[in-house]
Amino acid sequence: MQDDTPWQRIKAAFDALMDLPPQDREAALQATTLDPDQQAEVRSLLAHHDGLDDTGGQPFLAAAPRPEGLEGRRFGPWLLTRRVGAGGMGEVFEAERADGSFAGRAAIKLLAPGRDGPALLARFAQERQALARLNHPHIAHLMDAGVADDGQPYVVMEFVDGRPIDDVAAALPLEGRLALVLQLCEAVAYAHRQLLVHRDLKPGNVLVDAQGQVKLLDFGIAKAIDGGDPLITGVAHTPHYASPEQVRGEPVGTATDLYSLGVLTYQLLTGVRPTGRQATTAQEAARSVLEDTPTRPSRLSGDEVPDPDWPATRARLAGDLDNILLKALEKEPERRYASVDAFAADLRAYLGGYPVSARPAAWSYRARKWLQRNPVAAGLSASLLLAVLGGLAATAWQAHEARLAQQTAEQRLAEVRRVTHSLVFGFGDSVEYLPGGQDIKIGLLRDTLAALERLRPTLGEDTALLADIAQVHVRLGEAHMPGYLASRNDLATATRHAQAARELVDRVWAAQRGHGDFVSYASRAYNLLASVDQEADRIEASVALMQQGLALVREAMPQLPPGPDRLRAQGAITATLVNVGNMLDDNGVGLGRRPEAQAAYREALASADAELADPAAIAAVEATLPPQHTRFAAETAQSRAIILGSWSSSLLRDGDYAGALERRRASVAELRRAHETHPEQQQFWQSLCTALSFTAQLELQLAHPAEALAAMRESLQWNERLQASEPDNPQWTDNIGLRALPMGTALAATGALAESLPWFQRAIAYAQAELAKKEALRPRRNLLTAQLRLALAEQALKRPGAGARVLSATEALQALQPKDAKSPDTLLAVAEGAAALASPAVGGEKWRGVACEAWRQAATRRPLSPAALRARGVVGCE
C-alpha cells in the first residue's frame, strides 16, 4: 500500500527503526522526510515499545540513571526526600518545605537525565502553564515552579498520597466504581472549560487518596485549545488509552479525552480494556485502537475478566451501561458524547434509574425506568396517576354529590398522600441539590399544592390533608427563603408560604401532634416564619417564634413512640437549638447574649448525638428512603458541622482562638464525611466552600499562612464547581469577590506576593461594586483594607509609589475608625498599616505609636489574635 497518509508514514518509520539500537535511531529518524510532529510521534511510539511493562499498559522512562544522593538536594525552598515514581518525561520526588516558613509536603517533578533538549524543555514549561490555570478539588494543583541553579527546571505540585484508580476500583461495587468515574469526569470537564485537553488519561495518572477522593495528575501533554500562547502540540500518548485520532496524528480536542475516559471506565467496570487485550507492543496496541471494534461489556466471557462475580456484574452492565460505554468509544469523534458532562449525565441517570441518552427513547423503555424508580406509584392504577397530575378536582366534585363518592374521595386522598410522600417529597429531596434539581423540586411542589388545594372544598377540615398542605408550604417557603441552602432568595414568596404553613400547623396541631413527620414540619414552619422576622431585623420576635416551635416539639416527644417518629422530632430539636443560638449570639445580627448562645450550641450538639444513639431507628428511616436520598448520617454530619461552625465563631468573639480553631476544623471534617457519602449533592459543596473560607481566615489570625492558603484554595475550588453547575446564579460570582481579600492575604503571607496582587485588585473591585449599591461600613472597611494590603505587597515588590499608597490607605482607615464603634477590625487594619510605616524614613516613631494605640484599643473589644500579638511584638509595643 502506498504511504500516502501521516499515520502510514509514521507507522513505516516506526517499523524501520524499532529494531535498530537505541543510539542509532535518532540519526535515522532525522534522515526521514517526516515533519517535526510526525517525528515526535515516532519517538513516543519507540519509547512505549521499549518501556511497555508486562501488563501492556504503563510506560517507563528508558533514560540514563540520575547520580546517587539526589535525595537531600534543595530546589528553591523545597528539599527532596525520596523518589516516588516517573512520568512520561520526568521523575517525581516527594519533598518537604525546608526554609522554615511553614511545614509542608509536596511532589517535585524533574526532567529525566539526558532528556533536556529544547522540545522537552518546552513541553515541561507547558506543564507549568497548564497547571497554573487549573484550580479544582480533583486535580493536583500547582504550588510552585522554578529553575535550579544548574538550569534544571522543576514544578512543585500537591503531593497526592494515593493509589491508582484501577487498584482502588477493584475492591468496590459497581456504584462505587462509577462514583470514582464521576469525580474524574468533574475534573476533566473543568479542564475542558479552562480550554485544556489532558490527552493522557490512564490509571497511573488518576490516583485515589485515603478519603476516596480522585486526583488527576500530569498535564504535561495537555494542549491549549484557546488559541492563546503557542504551546508544543506533539502527539505523545499512551497507546492503550489513546483515541483513534490521536493514534493517527490528527488534531485532537475534548473528544479525545472523552474516548480515553470511555476506555478507563470500561476497564474499571470489567477489569479489562475494550481493545488490544492481547497487545504486547505499542504497535499492536495502536493498531487495535484503529481497527478493532470494542467488545460489548456484557458479552465478555468469564475467562476474559478477573471478576469472580462476573455473571452478576455482566447482568448489570447489559443495556444502559453497554450503550453508554460504546457511545464514548465510537471511532469517529462526532459520534461520541458531545461533552464529558453529557457522558457523566448518562452515568448519573443510570445510577438514579432514569433513561439514558445513549439508548433509544422508546416509550416502553422510559415507562419501565419510571416504574423502577417509583415502586410505590407502580402499584397505583393509571387513573390515580392521572388524578395526581391534574384530575383530582373532578373526583373531589363527584365526592360532594353522595356519601359513596365521599368515601371514594377519602380513599383517593389516602392514595394521593402516599404518592405525595413517596414520590413528590422523596423524589424532590433526591434531586434538590443536583444541578438544576431545585427547579424540578419547586415545580413538583407547586403542582402538588394545587392538586391538594382542589380537594379542600370537598374534604373540609380533614386534618391529614391540611397537614400535608402545611408540609408543602414549608418546603416551598424554604426553597425561596434567603439564607437557606439552594434558595431562590425570594423573600415575598417565602413569607407567603411561611405564614400559610404556620396557620395550618396551629389549626391541626392537636390532632396531628402524634405523628413524627408532622411534628418536625411544625418546628420547621415556626423556624421559617422566624426567618421572616430575622430578615426584617425583628430578632426578639424571631427568637420567640423559634422557642415556641421548640416548645411544641418537646410537648409532643412523650407521645411519640421510639423509632423513626421520635428520631425525626429529635432532629427538629437539634435544628431549632442551633437557630436559637445564632439569634442569641453576638454575631452582628443576634442579640449579643453570647453565653446563652454557646449554651444553646452545646445543647444542640448533645441533641445531634442523641439522634445518632438509636441505630435501629436510623435503619428504619433509611429503609424508607430511595437510594439517591441523602443518608441520615450525612444529614446529621451536616447539622453537626453547622453547630460546630457557629460555636467556633462565638468562641472567636470571646478570644478563644484555639477553641475556635478546634471546632472549625471539626466542622470541616463533618462536612467531608457528608460529602463522601453524597459527592454529587451541591448542599455539601456549598457548605464546604463556606466552612473552608472561615477556616482560612481563622488560620490567618493564628499565624498559620500555609494552612490558610490551602483552605482558601479549596474553598474557591468548591465555588468553581458551584459556578459551573449554575452559571446564571450570581451568588457564586459574589462569593469569589467576598473571598478575594483573604485569598490575597494568604498568598502574601506565604511569600507569593506577585500572585496576591490580582486577588487584592478583585477584592477592591468587589467592594467598590457593593458601595455603589449602598454605602455601608463593612464594604468600606474591606475596600480600604484591600487597598492597604495591595500597597504593602507592591511595596515588598519594590513597585514605584507603593509607599505613598500605604500611607494613603492607612490614613483613610484612621478616618473610618470612629464610625466602627463595636468591631476591632478597622483598628486592626489601622495597626497593620501603621506598623508598616514605623520606620525612620516616614516618621517611624509617630506611626509606631499609632500602631500600638490601635492594638491597645482593639484588645478592649476582643483579645488580640496570635498573629496580631506577633506583629505587635515586632513593632515593640509595651
- Cβ contact 44:61 at 8 Å: no
Residue recorded with cell 489601622: 830
Say how far apart CA 237 and CA 235 lie, in whole Å: 6
What are the contacts of 115-120 at 24+ separation with CB within 8 A?
Answer: 115/61, 115/63, 115/89, 115/90, 116/152, 119/40, 119/232, 119/234, 120/89
Packed helices 632-654 and 594-612: angle between N→C axes, nearest 10 degrees: 160
The alpha carbon dihedral of 282, 284, 288, 290 has a sign of positive
Paired with 156 in beta bridges are 108, 144
The three three-digit cell numbers of residue 634, written as one number: 450525612
Convert 707-746 to b/e letters by CB count within 10 Å (16 or more is b): bbbbbbbbbbbbbbbbbbbbeeeeebeebbbbbbbbbbbb
* 3-state DSSP helix/strand/coil % of the chain, to nearest 5: 65, 5, 30
The three three-digit cell numbers of residue 323, written as one number: 450503550
Closest CA to 870 of 837, 827, 821, 835: 835
Say how far apart CA 615 and CA 624 lie, in whole Å: 15
- Cβ contact 649:660 at 8 Å: yes
Say how far apart CA 693 and CA 714 lie, in whole Å: 9
Contacts of 249 (CB under 8 A, 6+ apart): 6, 7, 10, 37, 38, 41, 235
- Cβ contact 252:224 at 8 Å: no
What is the DSSP track for 34-85?
Answer: --HHHHHHHHHHHHHHHH--TTS-------PPPPTT-TT-EETTEEEEEEEE
Q: Provide the 8-state DSSP code for 390.
A: I
- Cβ contact 700:746 at 8 Å: yes
Q: Are strands 162-164 and 153-158 parallel, antiparallel or unpaired?
A: unpaired
Say how far apart CA 96 and CA 676 lie, in whole Å: 28
The alpha carbon dihedral of 205, 209, 214, 220 has a sign of negative
The three three-digit cell numbers of residue 658, written as one number: 484555639
Closest CA to 783 of 753, 752, 760: 760
Options 166, 200, 257, 346, the catalytic residue = 200
Quick count: other Cβ atoms within 10 Å of Cβ 747?
Answer: 24
Tell me which amino acid residue 795 is: Q
The three three-digit cell numbers of residue 411, written as one number: 380513599
Closest CA to 331 of 284, 387, 293, 297: 293
- Cβ contact 201:188 at 8 Å: yes
Classified as helix, coil or strand, 162 is strand
Contacts of 781 (CB under 8 A, 6+ apart): 813, 816, 820, 825, 826, 829
Say how far apart CA 539 and CA 533 lie, in whole Å: 7
How far CA 7 is from CA of 49, 285, 340, 416, 440, in Å, comes to: 17, 14, 27, 64, 49
11 is in an annotated binding site: no
Tell me if residue 167 is catalytic: no
CA atoms within 13 A on the CB side of 723: 17
Task: Kindly provide the residue ranges of all beta strands, DSSP E only, lying in 153-243, ordered along the sequence.
Answer: 153-158, 162-164, 196-197, 206-209, 214-216, 223-224
Binding-site members for ATP are: 109
The catalytic residues are: 200
Binding-site members are: 109
